[in-house]
């Protein structure tokens, strides 16, 4: 069985991907500095898998520490999640985002070359498109100026990987451009675990519904969309996780390749639609107010996912409704466990 180093593997998307890797007979090795997660996720992984995957509490910007992991584990491939990811925070703390997101990738690429590792799956984002010229956006759409430092850091990282692949033909990479991951594992044993005030919509919805937050503020009601709120492409995190395994299998049969793939449902839902759907499917009250636009937000974006469907043999299986039910189940699990945000 192939061993896969999963940086950020104790995080939201990383932990769900660890489950999918095990289901497809890969051996995951988690590297995480726990800056945006904690040991509760490890407990959930243990319950789901029946064992605890190998874990290293290492910051990926620390070359020597990460080199020791590579030396010990000798992985066959790498999935690189480790990065800061909050659009709003990145506008206030751009240097934090540039130094962490770019430097961690540079360290990973250097070590992959030193240890002769060829296959890389990179956690990218639809923010590389900025506000696209056409919708739905496909992988050939020219990137527009990034609307946030987070988005720009992903653009830079994609360029670094593209240049690295051109310089080292043995390096093969799948650039996975996520749209908006939501939901949680249906077991409610792992899910999104934001610290403090959530930066993403759905955990703010669930925390408001359960009483942690007094109200949900929708940022912007005057966009040029049918109901005035931003439109996004929301994808269940388990569907997103499965795409990483498909990408690894695809890379096994490639040579000298660096390809981008959109990962989403392939349709857009407005913020208001998501809120209304949550209330309907979970029969939960939700105090909502309208607020001003948030810096860095794109008005509307959703994906053309035909390339991932065809080349990776991947497709989504879970609906928006299911994702919101699973997110609510996870939030209630956290409350029952006495977790305070």
**CATH for 65:** 3.40.50.720
pTM of the complete model: 0.96
Position 97 in a domain: yes
Position 110 in a domain: yes
pLDDT of residue 195: 81
Which residue among 150, 152, 178, 204 is the active-site one? Answer: 150
Position 46 in a domain: yes
pLDDT of residue 1: 86
Q: Are strands 231-232 and 119-125 parallel, antiparallel or unpaired?
A: unpaired
- Chain-centre distance of CA 145, in angstroms? 21
Average pLDDT along the chain, 341 residues, taken 10 residues at a time: 97 98 98 95 97 98 98 98 92 96 98 98 94 92 90 97 97 97 98 87 96 95 96 98 98 96 97 98 94 88 97 98 98 84 54
Position 119 in a domain: yes
Question: Tokens 């703390």 sit at which residue?
Answer: 93
Position 123 in a domain: yes
**At CA 249, angle to CA 247 and CA 253, rounded to 5?**
110
**What is the domain range of residue 77?**
3-183+235-264
pLDDT of residue 331: 97
Position 305 in a domain: no
pLDDT of residue 144: 87
Question: Tokens 């890797």 sit at which residue?
Answer: 21
Position 178 in a domain: yes
pLDDT of residue 341: 54
178 is catalytic: no
Position 196 in a domain: no
**At CA 177, angle to CA 172 and CA 181, rounded to 5?**
130
Using an 8 Å Cβ cutoff, are 2 and 27 in contact? yes
What are the C-alpha distances in Å from 249 to residues 27, 113, 173, 237, 322?
A: 14, 20, 12, 19, 27
When divided into structural domains, the chain yields a total of 1
pLDDT of residue 132: 87
Using an 8 Å Cβ cutoff, are 241 and 181 in contact? no
Using an 8 Å Cβ cutoff, are 208 and 331 in contact? no
- Chain-centre distance of CA 49, in angstroms? 21
d(CA 320, CA 326): 10
pLDDT of residue 340: 60
């Amino acid at each position: 069985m192939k061993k896969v180093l999963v940086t950020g593997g104790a995080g939201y998307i990383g932990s769900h991907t660890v489950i999918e890797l095990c289901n497809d007979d890969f051996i995951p090795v988690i590297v995480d500095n726990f800056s945006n997660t904690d040991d509760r996720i490890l407990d959930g992984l243990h319950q789901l898998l029946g064992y605890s995957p190998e874990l290293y509490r290492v910051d990926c910007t620390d070359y020597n520490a990460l080199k020791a992991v590579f030396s010990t584990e000798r992985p066959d491939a790498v999935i690189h999640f480790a990065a800061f990811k909050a659009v709003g925070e990145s506008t206030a703390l751009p240097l934090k985002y540039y130094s962490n997101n770019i430097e961690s990738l540079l360290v990973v690429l250097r070590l992959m070359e030193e240890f002769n590792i060829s296959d890389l799956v990179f956690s990218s984002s639809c923010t590389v498109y900025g506000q696209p010229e056409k919708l739905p956006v496909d992988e050939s759409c020219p990137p527009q100026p990034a609307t946030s430092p987070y988005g720009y850091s992903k653009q830079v990282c994609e360029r670094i990987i593209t240049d690295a692949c051109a310089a080292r033909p043995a390096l093969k990479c799948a650039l996975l451009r996520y749209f908006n991951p939501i939901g949680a594992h249906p077991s409610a044993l792992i899910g999104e675990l934001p610290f403090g005030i959530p930066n993403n919509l759905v955990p703010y919805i669930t925390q408001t519904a359960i009483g942690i937050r007094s109200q949900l503020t929708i940022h912007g009601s005057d966009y040029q969309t049918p109901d005035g709120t931003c439109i996004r492409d929301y994808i269940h995190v388990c569907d997103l996780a499965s795409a990483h395994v498909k990408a690894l299998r695809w890379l096994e049969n490639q040579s000298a390749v660096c390809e981008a793939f959109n990962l989403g449902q392939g349709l857009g839902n407005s913020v208001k639609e998501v809120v209304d759907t949550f209330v309907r499917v979970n029969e939960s009250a939700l105090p909502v107010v309208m607020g001003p636009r948030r810096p860095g937000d794109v008005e509307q974006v959703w994906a053309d996912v035909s390339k991932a469907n065809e080349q990776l043999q991947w497709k989504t299986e879970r609906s928006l409704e299911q994702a919101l039910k699973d997110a609510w189940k996870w939030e209630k699990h956290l409350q029952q466990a006495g977790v305070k945000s």
